[in-house]
Amino acid sequence: MLSRQKTRTYEILEKASADDRTSRLVDSFIMVLIVLNVVMVVLETVPSLAARYANFFEVCEVFSVSVFTVEYLLRLWTSTADPRYSRPVTGQIKYAFTPMALVDLIAILPFYLPMVISVDLRVLRAMRLMRLLRLFKLARYSKSMQTLGSVLKDKSSELYVTMFVLLIMLVIASSLMYFAEHEVQREAFPSIPGAMWWGIVTLTTVGYGDVYPVTPLGKVLGAIIALLGIGMFALPAGILGSGFAEEIERRKEGQVLCPHCGKDIHTPSKEG
Amino acid sequence: MLSRQKTRTYEILEKASADDRTSRLVDSFIMVLIVLNVVMVVLETVPSLAARYANFFEVCEVFSVSVFTVEYLLRLWTSTADPRYSRPVTGQIKYAFTPMALVDLIAILPFYLPMVISVDLRVLRAMRLMRLLRLFKLARYSKSMQTLGSVLKDKSSELYVTMFVLLIMLVIASSLMYFAEHEVQREAFPSIPGAMWWGIVTLTTVGYGDVYPVTPLGKVLGAIIALLGIGMFALPAGILGSGFAEEIERRKEGQVLCPHCGKDIHTPSKEG
Amino acid sequence: MLSRQKTRTYEILEKASADDRTSRLVDSFIMVLIVLNVVMVVLETVPSLAARYANFFEVCEVFSVSVFTVEYLLRLWTSTADPRYSRPVTGQIKYAFTPMALVDLIAILPFYLPMVISVDLRVLRAMRLMRLLRLFKLARYSKSMQTLGSVLKDKSSELYVTMFVLLIMLVIASSLMYFAEHEVQREAFPSIPGAMWWGIVTLTTVGYGDVYPVTPLGKVLGAIIALLGIGMFALPAGILGSGFAEEIERRKEGQVLCPHCGKDIHTPSKEG
Amino acid sequence: MLSRQKTRTYEILEKASADDRTSRLVDSFIMVLIVLNVVMVVLETVPSLAARYANFFEVCEVFSVSVFTVEYLLRLWTSTADPRYSRPVTGQIKYAFTPMALVDLIAILPFYLPMVISVDLRVLRAMRLMRLLRLFKLARYSKSMQTLGSVLKDKSSELYVTMFVLLIMLVIASSLMYFAEHEVQREAFPSIPGAMWWGIVTLTTVGYGDVYPVTPLGKVLGAIIALLGIGMFALPAGILGSGFAEEIERRKEGQVLCPHCGKDIHTPSKEG
């Protein structure tokens, strides 16, 4: 049997029901802290701010990590309140390996690791950026990110098909361009993998202008590739777009969807 | 009881009914004046035109401000003819703080303010641009702008969700690129907020070419970010696009929409 | 009463019915000649080709103009076979001022005009390009161009609304950018009309990279404008796209559409 | 009568039925080999890798070509097991000229040809790239590529119409720009075909920035062309996008489509 304290702590940490004020306050507090942390990681890279507010950033980091550490330990301790992880020790170990628990752990590790092992400066800098993973802690609370997740899941087969076709097109386009331009522009088209940078930049219509064909053959090929390829590279956008529209429509209408086929499960209608 | 004069003035200033010729004439006159004003503000910044037609621009400005001032005062005076602001003085004060009344006021202020307080040249130039706010006075008459407004309102929840997701993607993309390129291109990727300029320019596919990755890691990351991110950044366009299509469809068909849920309210059909 | 010759000539020149072989041959001949003419105008501007095949181009031009002149005169002569222009002389004059007849005339004028009046070189060059108007002669035969025409007509109200909104957005975006960047980049942002070049290049996501903001304020404004504006500038594409889809669908299904409201006129169904 | 061996070989080479393990193994083996071959062709162009793994690439190539040669010969030999090519010799010749058989042949030719005839270096390099055609061998197995194929077939009439309109727009836009910019930028706009490179790069919104208008007339024309043209050039993307969506929907729902009109053939429903 679970202690009342543990059950209450579990309730507070999990997504709040609308009428549990304490739980909602804790949720809001953690969300605000996450957002502030991300803002902090971003601003810390501005040299002038980093120099001026070094102490402030340090204090914020210690405070955040303390809160997130306590949160992590409490979540671990109370995980047995969840029926899925109810067995005393093995349940908690099982919980510790769920994606969200791992995110929670990785989000605080960059703080503790340099205390245990010595790391060089470059690794340390990468580690500081890893604090951005705290963003994914938001996934517990943010409907937007859950929507994005379910759209990606829902449309995964379409995205897989188009990604495969895009990859083939990219290989063909880059190979043709490599063949046409390699002799003249060895720097810009050094190899087929190198020419793929041109391929991506062109087919996504970004077009920085750092590499572009200069030979007549290259320009003709480039023109044809652009005309035909851009339609294909716009497909993922279209797929995601209609997926989002459908998902938001669903949520608005409060439909229940079958978890297996993604179709709407109509409640038996009175006319039937 | 309202004087007949006030009621008539109110009628004339408000959007005209189809058979009120005087009112329609006044509406057209003000619309044309607004458009001319905007054209004038735009052309005034061309040095050669500014030098040559300085007097003409000056006269136009004085004339426009006179008309808009009279219009503003008349609207203020007659606002009590609107049942919402019918109480003599408090109603007029309440009206003065409605968005449209504020726009009317701000549109004429840049003319009067330099007479009262002394302002330096830079502020004066900013003020001249503020005259562009006169554009929003068009909102009273222009169906296009009303359509835009209702689309934005209608789709606000979708736009909010995608904007939030885009922001998270932008932070992640810019941070990754900062990590990959900062060492090599300190000018182009000075900090994460600085790298966001690259992020925006790439993910919107503008691609000026002022900043782009040069390291192999940066190019691989850039390619992946471009492929995945562009789909997301095209979402607001898709949402607005379908919103516009729906809105125009609605207007064409003269449907009545429920103000709460945005669904069509069908008039009871004869077949039912 | 019309001579049999005139009626037959009229039949041959007008779009052929499927079983009139002579007429179909003449149509095909003229279409091929038009396409060859356009290819010729385009290739003539390549200096190496112009030098080498000067005589060939000259001969082709004389031949084409002869054919088009005969075609024009025959169409003018036979126009009285069309009930709309049946009155002997006034009908032919009326026909001469229809858009298609004017296109036919303008397409041959650049050849005859230099014989009559003396023109300087630059005007002559412009005139040579005017021969491209022969393209529009295709509109008589090409279904593609007719489809494009009916889509533009069908969606004109939507396009008008969005164009107006885009113009307002362009003015606002360019004015803001002018305010932010004018002091630092006087060449790139010389005036608001000058800044509109930046606005168009950015909001259509072309992004040549000849003008872009460099000040922090300009970059922040540019980022916001890009994020919000691109959605709007993608609207005409969406409107045209769905218009095309509908138009092609219609043609496939052979539906009859009401010329007034654009809705499908269903033939009375048997279930009714 | 076919030998049992031939029939079995035919079964193994053709797309496997779900419960034929040998056949599925062979299919997977060939698919993996194709993908590895493409990766190899791509990586071979990287000088450092080409130098280091020359022997490995050589061995792989010999092995692949051996397998593909055996595969080709077996397919040719067993083609008589297919009712369409059942007549002993003429059937095999007929099969040898099907597109897929030609692809199989061309995919191995670059290996054998230099043994027979002497070829210069440039041709040899082109030939090595021709090995990329092995990609199309995937079409036998890959659902993605079959989906792409049927979308292109399904939407061919729409794509044809838009391509024609795009071509006309490109000619007009490039001619106008040539007229406006040729005098000032002879290098960037040397002729109308040369100006078409600007046209493609602008209308697809790639915008490398290697050519752009600099004269006021050119900028105004460029702005108008960009605003009007981009919508048109986004059409193929929209057509392909909706085609893909429909195709995937169909496959999901297991509908049977009429091969003539592309419409769904409903199996007679029980409610009817």
3-state SS record for C253-272: HCCCECCCCCCECCCCCCCC
From chain B, pick out residues whose CB is under 8 angstroms from the CB of C244. none
Distance from the Cα of A244 to chain D's closest Cα (Å) equals: 14
**Phi and psi torsions of C212, nearest 5°:** -155, 155
Is the predicted pLDDT of residue C190 greater than 80, yes or no?
A: yes
Could you tell me the sign of the dihedral formed by the alpha carbons of C233, C235, C238, C243, in that order?
A: negative
From chain B, pick out residues whose CB is under 8 angstroms from the CB of D207. 206-207
Residue type, C272: G
Which pLDDT value is given to residue C16? Answer: 66
Test mutation, D154, D232, D246, chain C, max C CBs within 10 A: D232
Predicted confidence (pLDDT) per residue in A102-157, tens digit? 988 988 888 888 888 877 777 777 777 888 888 888 877 777 777 778 888 888 87
| Mean pLDDT of the region C27-56 | 90
Q: Which chains touch B (3 or more CB pairs under 8 A)?
A: A, C, D
From chain D, pick out residues whose CB is under 8 angstroms from the CB of C241. 231, 234-235, 238-239
Contact A207 D210 (CB under 8 A): no
Please name the residues in contact with B198: beta carbons below 8 A apart, sequence gap of 6 or more: B174, B177, B188, B189, B211, B212
Is the predicted pLDDT of residue B77 greater than 70, yes or no?
A: yes
Which pLDDT value is given to residue A263? Answer: 46
Please name the residues in contact with D118: beta carbons below 8 A apart, sequence gap of 6 or more: none
Is the predicted pLDDT of residue A261 greater than 60, yes or no?
A: no
| Mean pLDDT of the region B77-95 | 86
H-assigned helices in chain B: 4-13, 21-44, 47-52, 54-78, 88-96, 99-116, 121-130, 134-137, 143-154, 156-181, 192-203, 216-233, 235-253
- For residue D257, what are the β-bridge partners? D264
From chain D, pick out residues whose CB is under 8 angstroms from the CB of C236. 227-228, 230-231
The residue with greater pLDDT, A216 or C240, is A216
Percent of chain C with pLDDT over 90: 28
Distance from the Cα of D230 to chain B's closest Cα (Å) equals: 14
Contact D244 A230 (CB under 8 A): no
| Minimum mean pLDDT range among B141-145, C20-24, D150-154 | B141-145
Distance from the Cα of C271 to chain B's closest Cα (Å) equals: 15
| Mean pLDDT of the region B68-78 | 91
> Mean pLDDT highest for which of A64-78, A79-93, B81-95?
A64-78
From chain D, pick out residues whose CB is under 8 angstroms from the CB of C226. none
Tokens of A229: 């390829």
Please name the residues in contact with D36: beta carbons below 8 A apart, sequence gap of 6 or more: D60, D64
Predicted confidence (pLDDT) per residue in B10-54, tens digit? 888 876 677 788 888 888 898 899 999 999 989 988 989 988 998
C-beta neighbour count of D157 within 10 angstroms: 12
From chain D, pick out residues whose CB is under 8 angstroms from the CB of A191. 45-47
Distance from the Cα of C176 to chain A's closest Cα (Å) equals: 24
Is the predicted pLDDT of residue B263 greater than 50, yes or no?
A: no
- For residue A265, what are the β-bridge partners? A256
**Which H helix or E strand runs over D207?**
none
Q: How far apart are CA C169 and CA C156, in angstroms?
A: 20
Predicted confidence (pLDDT) per residue in A172-189, tens digit? 999 999 989 998 999 999
pLDDT tens string for chain D (272 positions)? Answer: 557 888 888 888 876 677 788 888 888 898 899 999 999 989 988 989 988 998 999 899 999 999 999 999 999 888 888 888 888 888 888 999 988 889 889 888 888 888 888 777 777 777 778 888 888 888 777 777 777 788 888 888 778 878 888 888 899 999 999 989 998 999 999 999 999 999 999 999 999 999 999 999 999 999 999 887 777 787 777 777 777 777 777 776 654 444 444 444 444 333 33
| Minimum mean pLDDT range among A137-146, B231-240, C166-175, C244-253 | C244-253
Contact D179 C126 (CB under 8 A): yes
DSSP per-residue letters across C133-190: GHHHHGGGT-HHHHHHHHHHHHTHHHHHHHHHHHHHHHHHHHHHHHHHHTTT-TTTSS
Residue type, D8: R
- For residue D145, what are the β-bridge partners? none
SS3 label, residue A164: helix
Which pLDDT value is given to residue B221? Answer: 94
Q: How far apart are CA C199 and CA D227, in angstroms?
A: 11
Residue type, D37: N
Distance from the Cα of C76 to chain A's closest Cα (Å) equals: 41
Please name the residues in contact with C62: beta carbons below 8 A apart, sequence gap of 6 or more: none
> Mean pLDDT highest for which of A75-84, C197-206, D105-114?
C197-206
Contact B209 D205 (CB under 8 A): no
Is the predicted pLDDT of residue A214 greater than 90, yes or no?
A: yes
From chain A, pick out residues whose CB is under 8 angstroms from the CB of B209. 207-210
Q: How far apart are CA C229 and CA C207, in angstroms?
A: 14
Contact D234 C237 (CB under 8 A): yes
Which pLDDT value is given to residue B254? Answer: 58
Which pLDDT value is given to residue A256? Answer: 47
Tokens of B58: 């000056």
- Using only C-alpha atoms, what is the Rg of chain A? 25
Please name the residues in contact with A154: beta carbons below 8 A apart, sequence gap of 6 or more: A243, A246, A247, A262
> Mean pLDDT highest for which of B261-265, C27-31, D226-230?
C27-31
Q: How far apart are CA A240 and CA A243, in angstroms?
A: 5
Please name the residues in contact with C271: beta carbons below 8 A apart, sequence gap of 6 or more: none
Tokens of C3: 């001579």
pTM of the model: 0.84
Return the residue matching tokens 């000056």.
B58
Predicted confidence (pLDDT) per residue in B91-129, tens digit? 888 989 988 889 889 888 888 888 888 777 777 777 778
| Mean predicted lDDT score pLDDT of chain B | 82
| Mean pLDDT of the region A49-75 | 91
Q: Are C3 and C81 in contact (CB under 8 A)?
A: no
User: What's the angle, vertex CA C261, arms to CA C255 and CA C262, rounded to 5?
Assistant: 35
203-242 in D: which are within 8 Å (CB) of A?
Answer: 204-210, 233-234, 236-242
Predicted confidence (pLDDT) per residue in A13-35, tens digit? 876 677 788 888 888 898 899 99
Could you tell me the sign of the dihedral formed by the alpha carbons of B55, B59, B64, B69, in that order?
A: positive
> Mean pLDDT highest for which of B244-258, C172-186, D232-246?
C172-186
**Phi and psi torsions of D264, nearest 5°:** -75, 135
Which pLDDT value is given to residue D146? Answer: 79
Which pLDDT value is given to residue C254? Answer: 58
Is the predicted pLDDT of residue C13 greater than 60, yes or no?
A: yes
Is the predicted pLDDT of residue B261 greater than 50, yes or no?
A: no
Among chain C residues, CA nearest to A202: C206
| Mean pLDDT of the region C210-228 | 92
Contact D209 B205 (CB under 8 A): no
User: What's the angle, vertex CA B258, arms to CA B256 and CA B260, rounded to 5?
Assistant: 160
Predicted confidence (pLDDT) per residue in B213-223, tens digit? 999 999 999 99
| Minimum mean pLDDT range among B77-86, B255-264, C180-189 | B255-264
- Cβ of residue B179 closer than 8 Å to a chain A Cβ: yes
For strand A264-265 and strand A256-257, is the pairing parallel, antiparallel, or unpaired?
A: antiparallel
Tokens of D88: 């002993």
Which pLDDT value is given to residue D218? Answer: 94
Test mutation, A161, A203, A204, chain D, max D CBs within 10 A: A161
Could you tell me the sign of the dihedral formed by the alpha carbons of A260, A261, A264, A265, in that order?
A: negative
Which pLDDT value is given to residue A259? Answer: 45
SS3 label, residue B257: strand
